[in-house]
Structure 1
């Protein structure tokens, strides 16, 4: 496989047309067709399926597409590393962010990056932690800020922030009638409104529950935290979330908050990289920038939410303690 073949294939798939790809690559359609055909012959696979409006990747093409992007990215990193011998930090940095981190940090990350590395470019992808891990392994992104679920082969993670998870309910619900703390094994009594299985939060809660021999009672599966809180308020069930979630509710609705003990549940934000792909000098510097200049913004936001909720938690636990 040659890089020009992979480049032609990736552009044709992403643009859905040989004509549009030829325009972007400043070449002609016959040249692109020849390059893609050479790749198909070498791989002994049909990579494209033609239809009335252009082309799409075949099943085999979808598999090759991810690998092709990774190889092109690695080649670009090598070129940039050689240019750095001249003393200029340049190139392209691709970062994946978990949605909760992206919401707070994306704008500041881009601002800080452009100030620090004016000769470099950056792209930011947002996705669930499971998807970010896959993109890292495929080489589509240089690094990711994601929530840790379990050990993943070929991925190196370093925890940078930790949040306790609580049982969140509506005031006056079953959780509000319980002791101020509950054991994890008792959580099975509460119907949960919880994200789907691809979500890191769901994987954390289920993994710890399984270790305790607890089978969760799933009432609804919803990925968006805002929607989860809406459903909790309407009495559909209970949520397991960081205290920052109800504390920063834009509608300022009251929630009951119950601590989960034996064991305590935590979500851990990590910076992750692939052990199979060498980081460029730019990527290493950019990751350092995230830790020193961007992460504090996120942790301050989360800690502010915790402080805002402290009074509500204390009132809830004091009230509950008085009932015992």
Structure 2
């Protein structure tokens, strides 16, 4: 069976008229009638009942219509797959990044994306992990990097980075031990990110059931501002190593491992389960996974 003839047959069945289908296909009506006739001859079945009011599928036509739609759809998908293989895909993709990931790695991501997909456009949206998760579920994002997202049946997640949280103190403050129990955090004044920051949620989730009262002297939304306040001696904080500036960028900071229990910060790549994974989406996910996450603590340039 000729795919073009099948597409003509589907067009007539959908339009309910040879004349309307001919206009939609930009064909002369005799040409369309001849092609349908050839298809009927090949199959040995009358496919359309022609009346003064139009054309309706016969019983054989209804049976063919189901298969014709499937065959045409499969052909379209095959052509699209071959087009994607033949050239760099175009289109647009939207990626969500938490602020400190965006500050350190957006330039690297966009540069690699432009090199790999010169015909496509990337949009980078910044937000707290909780907000990015909601945007993924709502369909506003194609992909996102999230810190410690709650499980959702609507999202697929792939772990990328797992780090222990540390107690961080100013260099000029009291000497920190190499390790301290989580309960000992109650003895230190703390500057913490404000909820719903993922790090704050982790700390609160451990402290609350143990009835450990933390001395939170300030809440700040930006991790960079938290680090500045610690350097100025306002208090200590709880952060992963990757959130801290590398050596040589400002005054040194003291660090102590938190144990009993240890708390770990998890960075994951997430995407909606319901969204079809296009080539652009798959390869952008590969670019995200290949980012140099050791640079998370580096100042943005």
Q: What are the residue-to-residue correspondences of 1:31-70 with 2, within 5 Å?
A: none
Q: Distance in 2 between matches of 1:264 and 1:95?
A: 31
Q: Number of paired residues?
A: 221
Q: Distance in 2 between matches of 1:211 and 1:248?
A: 34
From 280, 287, 293, the equivalent of 1:298 is 293
Once the two structures are TM-superposed, the CA of residue 153 in structure 1 deviates from its matched residue by: 4.3
User: What does residue 100 of structure 1 align with?
Assistant: 100
Q: Distance in 2 between matches of 1:99 and 1:114?
A: 21
* Contact residue 147 and residue 269 of structure 1 kept, 8 A: yes
Structure number having the greater helix percentage: 1
Any stretches of 5+ residues in structure 2 without a counterpart? 1-75
User: What does residue 167 of structure 1 align with?
Assistant: 167
Once the two structures are TM-superposed, the CA of residue 254 in structure 1 deviates from its matched residue by: 2.6
Relative to the length of structure 2, the TM-score reads: 0.65
Q: Distance in 2 between matches of 1:241 and 1:150?
A: 19
Q: Distance in 2 between matches of 1:179 and 1:237?
A: 16
Residue 152 of structure 2: SS of its match in structure 1? coil
Residue 232 of structure 1: SS of its match in structure 2? helix
C-alpha RMSD of matched pairs (Å) = 2.7
User: What does residue 279 of structure 2 align with?
Assistant: 281
Q: Distance in 1 between matches of 2:207 and 2:296?
A: 25
Q: What are the residue-to-residue correspondences of 1:153-164 with 2, within 5 Å?
A: 153-164=153-164
Once the two structures are TM-superposed, the CA of residue 228 in structure 1 deviates from its matched residue by: 1.2
Relative to the length of structure 1, the TM-score reads: 0.61
Once the two structures are TM-superposed, the CA of residue 269 in structure 1 deviates from its matched residue by: 1.2
From 77, 86, 90, the equivalent of 2:83 is 86
Q: Distance in 2 between matches of 1:239 and 1:259?
A: 12
Q: In 2 relative to 1, CA 189–120 (structure 1 residues): closer, same or farther, beyond 3 Å? A: same
What are the superposed Cα offsets for residues 284-309 of structure 1, whole Å, 9 maximum, x if unpaired? 121012223xx2x223x25999xxxx
What are the superposed Cα offsets for residues 83-124 of structure 1, whole Å, 9 maximum, x if unpaired? 455334222111111122212221221222122222222111
Once the two structures are TM-superposed, the CA of residue 242 in structure 1 deviates from its matched residue by: 1.9
* Contact residue 96 and residue 125 of structure 2 kept, 8 A: yes
- State yes or no: 1:253 paired with 2:248: no
Q: What are the residue-to-residue correspondences of 1:177-256 with 2, within 5 Å?
A: 179-248=177-246, 252-256=250-254
After TM superposition, where is structure 1 displaced by more than 6 Å over at least 4 residues in a row? 79-82
Q: In 2 relative to 1, CA 111–235 (structure 1 residues): closer, same or farther, beyond 3 Å? A: closer
Once the two structures are TM-superposed, the CA of residue 240 in structure 1 deviates from its matched residue by: 0.4
Residue 111 of structure 1: SS of its match in structure 2? helix
Q: Which has the larger radius of gyration?
A: 2
Q: In 2 relative to 1, CA 82–203 (structure 1 residues): closer, same or farther, beyond 3 Å? A: farther
* Contact residue 149 and residue 204 of structure 1 kept, 8 A: no
Q: Distance in 1 between matches of 2:78 and 2:180?
A: 54
Q: In 2 relative to 1, CA 185–280 (structure 1 residues): closer, same or farther, beyond 3 Å? A: same
Once the two structures are TM-superposed, the CA of residue 142 in structure 1 deviates from its matched residue by: 0.2
* Contact residue 192 and residue 238 of structure 1 kept, 8 A: yes
Once the two structures are TM-superposed, the CA of residue 229 in structure 1 deviates from its matched residue by: 2.1
Once the two structures are TM-superposed, the CA of residue 235 in structure 1 deviates from its matched residue by: 2.8
Q: Distance in 2 between matches of 1:122 and 1:80?
A: 24
Once the two structures are TM-superposed, the CA of residue 188 in structure 1 deviates from its matched residue by: 1.7
What are the superposed Cα offsets for residues 197-248 of structure 1, whole Å, 9 maximum, x if unpaired? 1211111221122354423322111022222122223332210012344443
